[in-house]
């Protein structure tokens, strides 16, 4: 089956290259027994891809079951998946077969795999490795031939770093990764999807098909759609029911869905390479750098104040100051002129550079404000100060040794 045939058969709307790539991978891997990990935001249609993989495989005539791992209580998920013996726990009044037994030779779709408890992950890993499992309350090893397709809308590598997901299980599941793009990554498909849903609801509710003005289309296309296709479908249904006219303009959109006019400002989020604690520690480095800058400015200000006080520069308003440092050639009266209004600690110091014979205009060089460069500079200073004793340097910087080691490697400071 080619991509266009798959779109028609499974009702997939869109011409995005990212969507086509996901479909292409799903069709290629379908007729194998490889484990697949489908990744994507909530509402992008990951379950549809799991059905494509099953129905285009040699297991298509056997059972398919979709299980939401986040919806099953932690205390019962092992029983649901692997079954239990009579009396295995309170309430186990009879023997029960689990999904891996009843769906033998078929396909199991494990949605929200990131929510699976750690002990269940260990049992699942054993199935992936040799097809063996044990019922709750039993000591008998059973065999199963089940193809596993998993899906997640969270970053599993972040969960691994937090100790909430097994790394070995991740690599077994991630044999073939498929990324289903979010709606804001395939904006060229939004109008097409809107028209498809509008036709569907017009037929369902026996009304005219709603259409968008060009201005309304712009609003629809600019919205981020955090709920993805599910959210768009719900909006089209609301408009189909609540609108007074079949032609929808900006005012209609604002009345029915004011959230589309909200704009989300940037926010700090954890990157894929850092844990929350490490991100916090890196911010601490930035704060320390800013505090050091403030300290340097205060030192400079105190130096200038000290020079003025040492040379008794309290003079009348708008009167040229006497020679401040006659013994130093770099401070000559013909170069600068100071003004003072009854000098005190809080008085501003004004320097007039427009005197004839003064200094030549200096070239202003933009300071490098890269956070990475400033972080690297602070780390080098700390290591130099403590003679490469990393524990002392980490303590000085206010970060953990682990973060310091990672930064040293990242910035190639091992030498």
What pLDDT, on the 0 to 100 scale, is given for residue 324?
Answer: 41
Q: What is the 3-state secondary structure (H, E, C) of 168-210?
A: HHHHHHCCEEEECCCHHHCHHHHHHHHHHHHHHHHHHHCCCCC
Can you tell me the distance from the alpha carbon of 87 to that of 80, in angstroms, rounded to the nearest whole number?
A: 15
Can you tell me the distance from the alpha carbon of 397 to that of 288, in angstroms, rounded to the nearest whole number?
A: 7
> How far are the Cα atoms of 192, 206, 309, 388 from residue 87, in angstroms, in the given order?
55, 55, 90, 62
What pLDDT, on the 0 to 100 scale, is given for residue 283?
Answer: 64
Domain ranges of the chain: 3-181, 186-261
| Spatial CA neighbour of 35 closest among 177, 215, 196 | 177
pLDDT tens per residue, range 268-323: 444 444 444 555 556 666 766 676 777 778 778 777 777 776 766 654 444 444 44
pTM: 0.61
What pLDDT, on the 0 to 100 scale, is given for residue 273?
Answer: 46
Contact 270, 158 (CB under 8 A): yes
What pLDDT, on the 0 to 100 scale, is given for residue 88?
Answer: 80
Q: Are strands 96-97 and 83-84 parallel, antiparallel or unpaired?
A: antiparallel
For domain 3-181, the CATH superfamily is P-loop containing nucleotide triphosphate hydrolases (3.40.50.300)
Tokens of 118: 């750690």
Can you tell me the distance from the alpha carbon of 338 to that of 3, in angstroms, rounded to the nearest whole number?
A: 78
What pLDDT, on the 0 to 100 scale, is given for residue 236?
Answer: 95
| Spatial CA neighbour of 311 closest among 324, 326, 329, 328 | 324
pLDDT < 50 regions, the chain: 265-276, 315-343, 345, 347, 349-355, 357-359
Strand stretches in 103-175, DSSP E = 107-111, 132-134, 141-143, 147-152
Maximum CA extent, the chain: 103
| Through-space distance between the first and last CA atoms of the chain, rounded to whole angstroms | 56
> How far are the Cα atoms of 95, 234, 248, 252, 253 from residue 256, in angstroms, in the given order?
52, 12, 10, 6, 5
> Does domain 186-261 bear CATH number 3.40.50.980?
no
């Amino acid at each position: 089956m080619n991509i266009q045939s798959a779109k028609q058969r499974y009702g997939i709307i869109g011409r995005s290259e990212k969507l086509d790539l996901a479909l292409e991978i799903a069709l290629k891997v379908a007729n194998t027994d490889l484990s697949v990990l489908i990744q994507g935001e909530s509402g992008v249609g990951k379950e549809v891809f799991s059905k494509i993989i099953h129905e285009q495989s040699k297991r298509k005539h056997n059972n398919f079951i979709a299980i939401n791992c986040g919806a099953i209580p932690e205390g019962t998920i092992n029983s649901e998946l692997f079954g239990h013996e009579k009396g295995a726990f309170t309430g186990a009044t009879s023997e029960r077969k689990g999904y891996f037994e009843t769906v033998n030779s078929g396909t199991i779709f494990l949605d929200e795999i990131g929510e699976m408890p750690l002990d269940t992950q260990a049992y699942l890993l054993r199935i992936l490795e040799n097809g063996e499992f044990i019922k709750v309350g039993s000591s008998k090893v059973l065999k199963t031939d089940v193809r596993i397709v998993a899906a997640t809308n969270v970053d599993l590598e972040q969960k691994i770093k937090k100790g909430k997901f097994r790394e070995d299980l991740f690599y077994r599941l991630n044999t073939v990764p498929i990324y289903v793009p979010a709606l804001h990554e395939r904006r060229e498909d939004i109008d097409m999807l809107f028209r498809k849903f509008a036709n569907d609801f017009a037929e369902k509710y026996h009304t005219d098909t709603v259409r968008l003005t060009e201005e309304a289309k712009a609003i629809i296309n600019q919205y981020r759609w955090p709920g993805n296709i599910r959210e768009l479908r719900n909006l089209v249904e609301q408009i189909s029911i609540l609108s007074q006219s079949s032609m929808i303009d900006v005012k209609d959109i604002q009345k029915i869905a004011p959230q589309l006019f909200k704009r989300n400002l940037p926010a700090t989020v954890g990157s894929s390479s850092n844990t929350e604690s490490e991100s916090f520690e890196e911010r601490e480095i930035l704060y320390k750098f800013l505090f050091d800058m403030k300290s340097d400015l205060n030192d400079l200000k105190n130096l200038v104040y000290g020079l003025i006080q040492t040379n008794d520069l309290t003079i009348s308003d708008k009167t040229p100051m006497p020679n401040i440092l006659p013994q130093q050639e770099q401070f000559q009266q013909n170069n600068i002129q100071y003004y003072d209004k009854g000098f005190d600690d809080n008085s501003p110091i004004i320097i007039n550079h427009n005197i004839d014979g003064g200094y030549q205009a200096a070239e202003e060089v933009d300071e490098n404000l890269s956070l990475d460069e400033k972080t690297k500079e602070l780390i080098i200073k700390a290591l130099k100060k403590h003679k490469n004793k990393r524990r002392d340097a980490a303590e000085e910087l206010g970060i953990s040794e682990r973060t310091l080691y990672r930064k040293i490697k990242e910035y190639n400071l091992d030498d």
